[in-house]
Amino acid sequence: MTKTLLEMSELRTVSCADRIEIGPMVEEIFTDLAPLAEKNNIALESTGDAVMTGSDTLIYRLLYNLTENAIRYNRFDGTVNITVTHKDNQLVITVADTGYGTPEQYRESIFQPFFRVDKSRSREYGGVGLGLSLVWKIVTLHNGKVRVEESSEKGTAIAVKFPTDTIKF
């Protein structure tokens, strides 16, 4: 928790001028999270690619946190799919899972520090409720937006949208 709080407090000092290839980064994240995914028999899939300008370290952390959550809160034998597209002159990265969904009343709160939808499962899944808050701060630092795009008993899709000035076509 201390490490994450320090990361959050130092975000503004990080250079956001790296050239980032999203597709290879997603594959690296899948490799890093493969043991967790295999433990729960979660299939990891991705489509699309883009190049953007930003902090390589922070964008990696953003995608890692979203993917890790999608694996942890998924169903056994589920799927996590990361889709990278260009829509309305924006780079859109969507992380979708086949989990249990996020109740509508919590879809904005999940990005607040220390918030947990089901506090009784905290020990089972680990973490302290800072991962999505860090995602929010990283997206904001890159002038983007993040939100729960859709969520139901069939899963959740979280979309991150970056403005055109961060995209390299």
Query: Mean pLDDT across the stretch 141-165?
Result: 90
Q: Specify the pTM.
A: 0.82
Distance CA 166, CA 169 (A): 10
Query: What pLDDT was estimated at residue 33?
Result: 98
Three-state SS sequence of 154-165? CEEEEEEEECHH
- Res 121 pLDDT > 60: no
pLDDT at position 123 = 42
Could you read off the pLDDT of 21-57 as tens digits, one per residue?
999 999 999 999 999 999 999 999 999 999 999 999 8
Q: What is the structure's pLDDT at 122?
A: 45
Measured at the CA of 91, the angle between CA 95 and CA 145, to 5 degrees, comes to 70
Give the total number of structural domains in the chain: 1
Instruction: Give the C-alpha distances (Å, rounded to integers) separating 138 from 45, 115, 124, 145, 159.
Output: 23, 17, 27, 10, 14
Q: What is the mean pLDDT of residues 47-73?
A: 94
pLDDT for 7 equals 53
User: What residues make up the domain containing 162?
Assistant: 2-168
Both ends of the chain: CA-CA distance in Å? 37
What pLDDT, on a 0 to 100 scale, did the predictor assign at position 166? 55
Can you give the CATH number for the domain in which 79 is found?
3.30.565.10
Q: Which residues pair with 85 in a beta bridge?
A: 92
